[in-house]
Chains A and B, each alone.
Chain A
């Protein structure tokens, strides 16, 4: 816990906010306002952020530290801090480029190679200059690696990284064609599934003698429509399952696959968003409960079909009905009395559940049900106010995140003992800035950071 002054008046401007953070001397508040500070203020903030090595290490590691602060920390002459900055997922690409340009350590270069913000140009330099297999592999897996980067890898290292190249979304059709010609079955499978896979290669892949390759080809969204029919009759269920998930599948084929002998295939059909009434009719009585569960989520069900599934013997099917936005109130009322907690919780979570049903569920003791009631915007305010006094933090947090909770309902939660509940209030539009400013000296650093960040966004030019 940090001993912070309790009497800082609510700032009205960006300047006052930064001055408040400087006066507090707290690294988290300082980090939050760094982005809106002017040059002089930034010098004062830097003294707080970097004044103690242990604070700099903490911030360099923390996943919420703003990129601009990480850039400052990266400039410190401290390898341990730079290591943490390089590992931090929030570090900006320019900071990573600067770090890369000023170091020789293979470990640190490896971190840059795998970082999600490293630019394609830095990756290009790395794969041109570095020979370490681990670093090249990291670069080959980096989503930011452009086709040019991948081409350099292929040119320098031959087939050593074929698996990574075949799986990379930026690999060009030319690279993929060469990979398919020389690769093992797994590489060929990855190529066949690739969005850039040339059609000529795809036509070979669907006729491959290895079912892994065929299955991967069957998932390719660019697969020609004529091949969908060809593969819908494949002897291997995993291929038919992949076809059943294809977006361009015709209703005729979908109906055919809805009667497939494999549960897995029928499940894939049941999960489709474009089910017709006829296909629903085929699947609603399926022996496999996963099929019925998917069907129960469909927006195309009639009230009678929802009723049938609401009385299903399997609790997951009944829960799916409770989650379905088309389920009418009378069925929700039935499900609110289900003996399974998860089914009742789904009713409590359902945005369409009327207040009178939520009122009954609010008398439960099960935390999953109560937390859902607390979060439901249809729950009456008196019930929400009662739930703010629950001994269960999850229930109280449900109220804190309730879009319909009124200010007088939320105010007691500003003193909630669980930090996350207080943190959730910072972004709530119902509370006034003055209400939120009461958290400015919160003992939890994440709350202070979130609050000062919120005020920063309000005052940002």
Chain B
């Protein structure tokens, strides 16, 4: 039995950064990279299922990106994933979330997993569509924002608790294989052991290219994307009102603001 977990290495920003000259992205020198937080929960869910199961379960992580993303893949290996796949060809540059979904679907068609997990969204682009696009290309059942899961490997059904707005929950029964996008808080991700980290550094990562997947250049990349970035910019921020004066004066002004806010002034 196999669970395929789609993961992404996301970019995070420090407080000072610059936009690139072409105004399409942040200058790469200011970006810090890490495993997408949602994907950490996805992986943990897969690992929990693997460890609870009486049958053998293989957890395979896959990511679309250049060599840099191997750092996140190795983190997954260190946490216990059995195998890691990196998918990349230069033609994939500029792919949007839908196109990445197509690429991942091609991987799934080769790997033939029994279940696919993806994070609800990535913390950098926040499109929240890769997992669902993947399900669509595979024509598989899917459930989004899964905050709880009852699944026995090999079963043809799973029960997923979905997190809705307003504090509501929804329980759905879904036929398997399926694609589930996993929500934060579904579990408590483990720390990788030091031994695991060191062993993961030496493990091989399967590299898969465009042609390995049977895809053409026209099906991926910026030209195949359903959306494109026109510009990225830092919006003008309004100035906060600074409360000046001595400490006692600031406290008095703040108390007045609070009273006005509460309608008591």
Q: Name A's B-contacting residues (CB within 8 A).
A: 1, 3, 6, 52-54, 57-58, 61, 80, 83-84, 87, 137, 163, 166-167, 184, 186-187, 189-190, 212, 216, 393, 414-418, 422, 441-443
Contacts and interface: CB of A to CB of B under 8 A. Distances in A.
B246 A3 contact: no
Given A54-B30, A80-B18, A1 B246 contact: no
Interface string B202-217: 0000000000000000
Q: Which 9 A-B pairs have the closest CB atoms?
A: A417-B191, A186-B249, A190-B246, A54-B29, A415-B194, A53-B29, A163-B245, A163-B246, A186-B246
A415 B195 contact: yes
A187 B252 CA distance: 13
A61 B78 CA distance: 28
Contacts of B111: none
A190 B78 CA distance: 58
B50 interface: no
A442 B252 CA distance: 51
Q: Is the interface of B mostly helix, strand, loop or mixed?
A: helix
B123 to A, nearest CB: 19
A434 B102 CA distance: 51
Nearest to B253: A186
A80 B16 contact: yes
A167 B190 CA distance: 49
A97 B78 CA distance: 46
B28 interface: yes
Contacts of B18: 80
Contact of B252 (A58, A80, A186): A186
B16 A418 contact: no
B74 interface: yes
B227 interface: no
B252 A1 contact: no
24 contacts: A1-B197, A1-B201, A3-B201, A6-B198, A54-B28, A54-B31, A57-B14, A58-B32, A80-B18, A83-B16, A163-B244, A163-B246, A184-B249, A186-B246, A187-B246, A189-B246, A216-B248, A415-B193, A415-B194, A415-B195, A418-B191, A442-B194, A443-B194, A443-B198
A434 to B, nearest CB: 17
Interface in B112-165: none
A91 B28 CA distance: 25
Contacts of B174: none
Contacts of A418: 191
Most buried by B among A1, A414, A422: A1
A212 B16 contact: no
Contacts of A416: 194
B184 interface: no
A416 B196 CA distance: 11
Contacts of A393: 191
Q: How large is the interface on B (under 10, 10 to 19, 20 to 34, 35 or more residues)?
A: 20 to 34
Interface of B: 14, 16, 18, 28-32, 71, 74-75, 78, 190-195, 197-198, 200-201, 244-249, 252
A412 B30 CA distance: 37
A334 B192 CA distance: 41
Nearest to B71: A1
B194 A422 contact: yes
A393 B30 CA distance: 31
A397 to B, nearest CB: 12
Contacts of A190: 246-248
A53 B31 CA distance: 11
- The residue in B29, B74, B75, B197 that gathers the most chain A C-beta atoms within 10 A of its C-beta is B29
Nearest to B192: A417
A166 B248 CA distance: 12
A212 B28 contact: no
Contacts of A417: 190-194
A441 B195 CA distance: 12
Given A54-B31, A418-B191, 15 more contacts: A1-B74, A1-B78, A1-B200, A3-B201, A57-B14, A80-B18, A84-B16, A163-B245, A163-B246, A186-B245, A189-B246, A190-B246, A190-B247, A212-B252, A417-B193
B31 to A, nearest CB: 8
Most buried by A among B30, B190, B194, B252: B194
Contacts of B190: 417
A249 B75 CA distance: 61
Nearest to A447: B194
A140 to B, nearest CB: 11
Nearest to A187: B246
B104 to A, nearest CB: 24
A267 B32 CA distance: 49
A297 to B, nearest CB: 27
Nearest to A61: B14
